[in-house]
Structure 1
């Protein structure tokens, strides 16, 4: 397989613009230009396939076709074929050795979203987190220049920690889309009877399930911090910032609890600025 780098296209600017409005942006600003642009390309890919899965105006059959089309674009990227919109990934793939399986895993995760998750088993939820978050982590740690073993371990734990935090933060928004990511075992243990998303998030017993899942997320943060504390080779500032940002969100959720009405918990920008200053990462 021969992958040739392509000249920048307008999609690169769109990727950067989309990322600029997200909490992802703070972590990426600390990277050198080449790594930052590669991460924006990965973000752009994730954003596109996520939007396909979340597009609730289109019939599901059309959404499936659109995701399948992206599977083909990614396959073509690795087979020197007509990559179409996946051309934006060609340079990062060539420069950093990004693996096709991880891009395909992300699409498979979006397929799980499209087909609908309502109180999945713990094993299914873990598979979902691996596909939509840890797979992105596996792509990212290659861009960060990490060695394989610590990089994959960090991707495993930090990806799951971040995704579980998102799930715990977005229970109401997900319910509005007909999705319930909280696992069946924890809902049953807490006494939440219904797996209808709207009914489940209105159940007063939801708190117990969420707090138990928060413990799982915190264990993954702790494992990720152990990897980072060992200072393996690579650009660690970005994952450290992401861990700090989303770890702060999880702490805010635990302080707030999950009793309605649930106010939105956001990234503490002041804390991120302090971390940037402490690490000398401005400029």
Structure 2
């Protein structure tokens, strides 16, 4: 495989890279960069001023997140997807034990794990979060279950990001979890139609009950005339977490610019949806390249 090859669709064969011979590290890193860039994510805008080693570390972390997220989200036999997540658990264990790994993302993670002392528990938390999706544990979940899910799938990313940035004090760790929850709640509001198409309903049970929504099937909830009440309440929780994140950023010994840009991009998406009365979502509220460039300039990344 050359550095310019497009990463394969993980649905075709979840375990292909685990069985294949390991590629050279530079090719693995190129594969990872292609994986991230193909996702067209806002994430890349937060990496402009990082040193090359930290930037490559973040590419590897994000590629890992995308890979296991695809395993949970894309069509494919349930047993195969569970097996793929189990194989990732084993691959992470091999990485931390200093044993040979074969997946290009694992190869690209090896050096960042060593150089930045990334926490094994956070990679495993991410896998735990994906397993919650596969087990259908999030069909109008109670609030503690949704909080746990946010901690696993978003808070873990935040912790790993701040570890790469060498921000490890108590304020930074709280920021990782709090901002991660704000971003994930925004995702839930933005992607509610896409999630419903997969039969998933992340909106919390207590808010559905308060709005008088009894039928908890995802499609029925999206059609309910009082859905806006649920969205308003969840948005208020997200905005409170954005506000707390701003306080924590002010306390950090160094301003985590990558986290700031992500916060500003998602906060603006949330405000767009709220201003439109929740009539928009998905790609329609994502910021244009010009808007992302403005955010990057405004917060000192370019």
- TM-score by structure 2 length? 0.86
**Greater shift after overlay, 254-263 or 142-151?**
254-263
Q: Give matches, 1:182-221, under 5 Å.
A: 182-221=203-242
Distance 1:80 1:262 in 2: 41
Deviation at 1:190, TM superposition (A): 0.9
Residue 261 of structure 2 contacts residue 299 of structure 2 at CA under 8 Å; is this kept in 1?
Answer: no
Q: Which residue of 2 aligns with 1:17?
A: 34
Deviation at 1:145, TM superposition (A): 1.4
Residue 202 of structure 1 contacts residue 260 of structure 1 at CA under 8 Å; is this kept in 2?
Answer: no
Q: Which residue of 2 aligns with 1:249?
A: 269
2:59 matched to 1:40? yes
Distance 2:280 2:132 in 1: 28
Residue 190 of structure 1 contacts residue 209 of structure 1 at CA under 8 Å; is this kept in 2?
Answer: yes
Distance 2:210 2:113 in 1: 44
Distance 1:261 1:39, change over 3 A: closer
Deviation at 1:263, TM superposition (A): 7.7
Residue 12 of structure 1 contacts residue 41 of structure 1 at CA under 8 Å; is this kept in 2?
Answer: yes
Deviation at 1:227, TM superposition (A): 1.2
Distance 1:185 1:237, change over 3 A: same
Q: Which residue of 1 aligns with 2:180?
A: 159
SS in 2 for 1:191: coil
Distance 1:51 1:95 in 2: 27
Q: Which residue of 1 aligns with 2:82?
A: 64
Distance 1:262 1:270, change over 3 A: closer
Unaligned runs of 5+ in 1: 1-5
SS in 1 for 2:284: coil
Distance 1:78 1:221 in 2: 34
Number of matched pairs = 275
Unaligned runs of 5+ in 2: 1-22
Distance 1:90 1:253, change over 3 A: same
Q: Which residue of 2 aligns with 1:51?
A: 70
2:92 to 64, 67, 74: 74
Residue 204 of structure 1 contacts residue 259 of structure 1 at CA under 8 Å; is this kept in 2?
Answer: no
**1:122-150: per-residue Cα shift (whole Å, max 9, x none)?**
11000000000001111110111113312
- TM-score by structure 1 length? 0.91
Distance 1:280 1:101, change over 3 A: closer
Residue 119 of structure 1 contacts residue 195 of structure 1 at CA under 8 Å; is this kept in 2?
Answer: yes
1:131 to 135, 139, 152: 152
Distance 1:174 1:154 in 2: 27
Residue 167 of structure 1 contacts residue 181 of structure 1 at CA under 8 Å; is this kept in 2?
Answer: yes
Root-mean-square deviation (CA, aligned residues, Å) is 1.9
